[in-house]
Amino acid sequence: MASLTVRKLDEALKAQLRLRAARHGRSVEDEVRTILREATHEGAPQVRRQEHQRAPEIKSMPTLSSVASSTGFKVTLIIGGGIAAYKALDLIRRLKERDVHVRCVLTRGAQQFVTALSASALAHEHVYTDLFDPKSEFDAGHIRLARDCDMIVVAPATADLMAKMAHGHADDLATAILLASNRPVLLAPAMNPLMWNNPSTRRNLAQLKTDGILVIGPNAGEMAEANEAGIGRMAEPIEIANAAMEILRPAPVGPLVGKRILITAGPTHEPIDPVRYIANRSSGKQGFAIAASAAAAGANVTLVSGPVGLNDPPGVRVIRVEAARDMLRQVEDALPADIAIFAAAVADWRVAREGDQKIKKTSSGMPPLQLVENPDILATISKLKQKRPPLVIGFAAETEHLIDNAMSKLLRKGCDWIVANDVSPSGGVMGGDRNTVHLLMKGKSGGETKIESWPAMMKDDVASALVDRIAREISAAEST
Ligand code: C5P
């Protein structure tokens, strides 16, 4: 089968792939695999049928390449034989929470502490224990486990396992995988403090570090052995999972690397009483798409979103809020930022006094709802004396006199750009996937406002185009 090296593709294609991958929450490699798989399915149904006819017995074997994970990251987790092995079960959950596909290998010692059944129930996967298992070794499974993953985590890494690794042993499945791998390896040592401080362990650790093995922990604390404390406790599962993610996530690339972008999205819900609220039809799709595009362009993105039914875009810090005042608070807390984009459809009003209890129907008629104005987040941030982001962008959702209304909003709110869109019900923009926008850019030092009218596009494409526009603006500003 032909192989494809993403690194060698031209930069423009790679940028597009990265964007697509981020949108779908996959790694670039998995995005390429998906595209190729889809193309093969459309173009060559006969070939697929023939493959099935030739090798029906392989279909039932658990192969790594048959596995789809939403981020596309695959980790081989080697669980060593120590009391901390029970924490490795929690580590499986923490990695899976981060959408990582986990394939577990248990050493003989590990099986004294945890069962293959519990690991496989948590990983939703076959668990490997034996180097000479005919079922998984029919095609040198240890080589697959070593290479068809993005990294190997060893937790707990016992003194014995570290010694074997340092000396290149390969007499069981775990050590054979480690010796056969060319992937990053992260060790989470766990052992008694005396073992940790023993000169042999120190030598082995130094050798492993020289060999490029990464190490997290151990931490200081109480030992499982009564009355013993010191350095030797395995790092907490969450620490190991976070360290693994740092290794898995490639260093950001793109035109917005190093830029902090703050984005609001979605509607706000303004409570009337504990069960009712005032809201609007905003789906949050446009703001979420901008956040995904900005993250794919390398920015450090914080998204403050009202209640929406959308998943967090990959690589974006998402803060979920309900009401306008919470949104303003979170936006202020997230400053400073280089760019702020206010795409939320913030409710203009809230009820003056929210009922503590559900308002009941009475014979004396309808309850009066007195409204008061919400803070205008865009205007507040645009007019900040300190901490005003250098580029503040607002949205104008209008149903008539689009450009005129957007122009007066640009001046009134004090922002730098306005993205104006027509949200008349006939256009289907609210809640839909497409958008037609005009970009109004205030001229520098009193210069004329420029207007760009973009053709109708998918919201994802509007997001990419806006992020490109911002990147160009920043690079122009930085080069003057
Ligand atoms: O005034 P209007 O709601 O039409 O203004 C739209 C722009 O102002 C959007 O960018 C929206 O996110 C922002 N806005 C805000 N806070 C409000 C009202 C609007 O940030 N209370």
**Does the pLDDT value for residue 428 go beyond 70?**
no
| Residue whose CB lies within 8 A of the most ligand 1 atoms, among 374, 378, 430, for a mutation test | 378
Peptide bond into 184 cis (omega under 30): no
Q: Are 146 and 76 in contact (CB under 8 A)?
A: yes
**Does the pLDDT value for residue 67 go beyond 90?**
no
Q: Which residues contact 46 (CB under 8 A, 6 or more apart)?
A: none
Helices (H) and strands (E) in the chain, counts: 16, 21
- The residue-averaged pLDDT of 457-463 equals 93
Report the alpha-carbon distance of residue 106 to residue 128 in Å, rounded: 6
Summarised one tens digit per residue, pLDDT across range 129-188 is 988 776 665 555 677 788 889 999 999 999 999 999 999 999 999 999 999 999 999 999
Least confident of 59-68, 396-405, 406-415: 59-68
Does 160 contact ligand 1 (Cβ within 6 A)?
no
H helix runs in 169-284, sequence order: 173-180, 193-197, 199-210, 237-248
Question: Which of 320, 324, 311 shows the shortest CA–CA distance to 269?
Answer: 324
Summarised one tens digit per residue, pLDDT across range 4-55 is 666 667 766 776 777 676 655 566 677 777 777 666 554 333 323 233 333 2
Q: For helices 159-166 and 199-210, what crossing angle results, to 10°?
A: 50
Query: Is 454 buried (19+), middle (13-18) or exposed (0-12) by CB count in 10 A?
Result: middle
Count other Cβ atoms within 10 Å, centred on residue 479: 6
- Nearest-atom index, ligand 1, CA of 347: 21
> What are residue 349's DSSP bridge partners?
373
CATH topology identical between 67-248 and 260-349+370-479: yes
Ligand 1 centroid distance, CA of 322 (Å): 16
Length of the chain counted residue by residue: 480
Report the alpha-carbon distance of residue 124 to residue 73 in Å, rounded: 15
Ligand 1 centroid distance, CA of 395 (Å): 7
Distances (CA, A) of 123 to 88, 105, 289, 434: 11, 11, 31, 38
CA-nearest residue, atom 4 of ligand 1: 396
Q: What is the pLDDT of residue 26?
A: 61
Report the alpha-carbon distance of residue 133 to residue 145 in Å, rounded: 13
Does 263 contact ligand 1 (Cβ within 6 A)?
no
Does 324 contact ligand 1 (Cβ within 6 A)?
yes
Report the alpha-carbon distance of residue 354 to residue 277 in Å, rounded: 10
Question: Which of 428, 431, 424, 417 shows the shortest CA–CA distance to 401?
Answer: 424
Q: Are 345 and 431 in contact (CB under 8 A)?
A: no
Report the alpha-carbon distance of residue 344 to residue 260 in Å, rounded: 18
Summarised one tens digit per residue, pLDDT across range 102-140 is 999 999 999 999 999 999 999 999 999 988 776 665 555
Give the tokens for residue 3.
């192989």
Report the alpha-carbon distance of residue 242 to residue 396 in Å, rounded: 39
Q: Is 135 helix (H, G, I), strand (E, B) or coil?
A: coil
Report the alpha-carbon distance of residue 261 to residue 334 in Å, rounded: 10
Does 305 contact ligand 1 (Cβ within 6 A)?
no
As assigned by CATH, the class of the 67-248 domain is alpha beta
Does 378 contact ligand 1 (Cβ within 6 A)?
yes
Scored b (16 or more CB within 10 A) or e, 76-103 reads bbbbbbbbbbebbbebbebbbebebbbb
CA-nearest residue, atom 21 of ligand 1: 376
Backbone region of residue 218 per phi and psi (left: phi > 0; alpha: psi in -120 to 50; beta: other values): beta
- The residue-averaged pLDDT of 328-338 equals 98
Element (H, E) at 405: helix 402-413
**Strands annotated E in 74-116:** 74-79, 101-106
- Nearest-atom index, ligand 1, CA of 378: 20
Ligand 1 centroid distance, CA of 383 (Å): 14
Homologous superfamily (CATH) for 260-349+370-479: CoaB-like (3.40.50.10300)
Summarised one tens digit per residue, pLDDT across range 363-379 is 888 888 899 999 999 99
- Nearest-atom index, ligand 1, CA of 264: 12
Does 377 contact ligand 1 (Cβ within 6 A)?
yes
| Residue whose CB lies within 8 A of the most ligand 1 atoms, among 286, 304, 305, 377, for a mutation test | 377
**pTM for the whole structure:** 0.60
pLDDT averaged over every residue in the chain:
86
Enumerate the active-site residues. Answer: 280
Please state the domain extents for the chain: 67-248, 260-349+370-479
Distances (CA, A) of 239 to 60, 77, 146, 209: 35, 15, 23, 19
Q: What is the pLDDT of residue 478?
A: 87
Task: Render 150-169 in DSSP notation, one character per residue.
Answer: SEEEEEEE-HHHHHHHHTT-
> What are residue 262's DSSP bridge partners?
302, 340
Does 381 contact ligand 1 (Cβ within 6 A)?
no
Q: Are 433 and 458 in contact (CB under 8 A)?
A: yes
Task: Render 13-34 in DSSP notation, one character per residue.
Answer: HHHHHHHHHHHHT--HHHHHHH
Report the alpha-carbon distance of residue 130 to residue 449 in Å, rounded: 70
Q: What is the pLDDT of residue 139?
A: 55
CA-nearest residue, atom 8 of ligand 1: 378
Ligand 1 centroid distance, CA of 292 (Å): 21
